[in-house]
Amino acid sequence: MSKKSFISIAAAAAVAMGVVGVSGSADAAEKRVKWKMHSAWGAAVPHLGSSGVRFSKVIKRLSGGDFTMKFFEPGALIPGNEGFDATSKGSVEAAWTTAGYDVGKYPALAFFTAVPFGPSMGEYFAWKKFGGGDDIQKRIYAKHGITQMDCFAIGPETSGWFKEEIKDLKQLRGMKMRFFGLGARVMQKIGVSTQLLAGGDIFPALEKGVIDATEFSMPAMDIKYGFYQIAKNNYFPGWHQQTSVSQLLVNKAKFDGLSDQRQAMIETACGDSIVNTFAETEYVNPFAMVEMGEKYGVKTHRWTDEQLGVFEKSWNEVIAEDSAKDPLFKEVNDSYASFRKSYKKWGDAQSLNATYLK
């Protein structure tokens, strides 16, 4: 082979390798997926926001950095509670939020975050995953081009911050109070005027007198929002939210466009987040509750059995009234109530008192 021929062949090979290199780079770029994930809660909010940040990191880790779901603070892309519309339209690929914020679309969706006088985490997820709850929830969101999946869960909440001690439920009549989900319907039945405010809007509303009282979540979160600075009386138990489940909403077309492996990454990261977040809340909140009292002078109260009976009676009235006027609400409640009835024998057989020692 002549020197000239060798040079020509070498040059051709170099060009070919260059084309392969460019093509390889293009293929790699196509494989990288970058999504925007709106959050209803700020990254600094324990459990609710921080779990979203952690979820994003888990997705990046599982994919080796080829698939990212960047966490965006509420308001950075859209207002805090507007994840439903944004994911439906494809304005964002995903939203870290909760079904209870979507009750303006379908009141029955509140069932999928928390239920007054509801079950433990085990019973609740048994209904959702295997008892038909998830089937209904996913069907509702799918009608709007959204893929829904449970992605985190928290333990029992407190049931209110009040400026004065509540000795009689008659004191609640005419009160303006921030309240969430189905519990708000119960409070309305006993004469409270309720509003659903995002976490960051609650303190200024309390401070300015727009609302007289509030519930939000649990001690570790409520401390961050500073409610104790205005309302020193914190009430338990969280009869309205014994277990709270929240979700990831994903634009369906975007989700369907992912590989099966990447879909599995999201599903796996959600399962991990549910366990981690619930365990975290159960660990940190006993300490946060002590801190509220010792450091901030919060007075902890427990509703009497008689008062809890009033709340429960009102909840039963809400079920009857809302089921009569809303077929979807009735469908969800019927599914939920039927499962709880089936579960009761097992649940009662396994129940234990706090102690049996005298």
CA neighbours within 13 Å on the CB side: how many for 80? 15
- CA dist 190 and 317 (Å) reads 11
Residue 56 has pLDDT above 80, yes or no: yes
pLDDT at residue 198 in the model: 85
pLDDT at residue 314 in the model: 97
DSSP 238: -
pLDDT at residue 333 in the model: 98
Three-state secondary structure along 104-127? Answer: CCCHHHHHHCCCCCCCCHHHHHHH
What's the average model confidence in pLDDT over 85-105?
97
Q: What is the pLDDT of residues 186-234, one digit of tens each?
A: 999 999 999 999 888 999 999 999 999 999 999 999 999 999 999 999 9
Please state the domain extents for the chain.
33-155+242-283, 160-239+300-343
The domains spanning 33-155+242-283 and 160-239+300-343 adopt the same CATH topology: yes
Residues for the chain: how many in total? 358
Q: Percent of the chain scored above 70 by pLDDT?
A: 92
Q: Concatenate the DSSP letters of all residues of 192-235 into one string.
A: -EEE---HHHHHHHHHHTS-SEE--S-HHHHHHHTGGGT--EEE
How many whole angstroms from its chain centre is CA 43? 14
Q: What is the pLDDT of residues 145-178, one digit of tens each?
A: 999 999 999 999 999 999 999 999 999 999 999 9
Quick one: fold of 160-239+300-343?
D-Maltodextrin-Binding Protein; domain 2 (3.40.190)
Q: Percent of the chain scored above 90 by pLDDT?
A: 89
**CATH code, 33-155+242-283:** 3.40.190.170
CA 234, 333, 318, 148 torsion-angle sign: positive
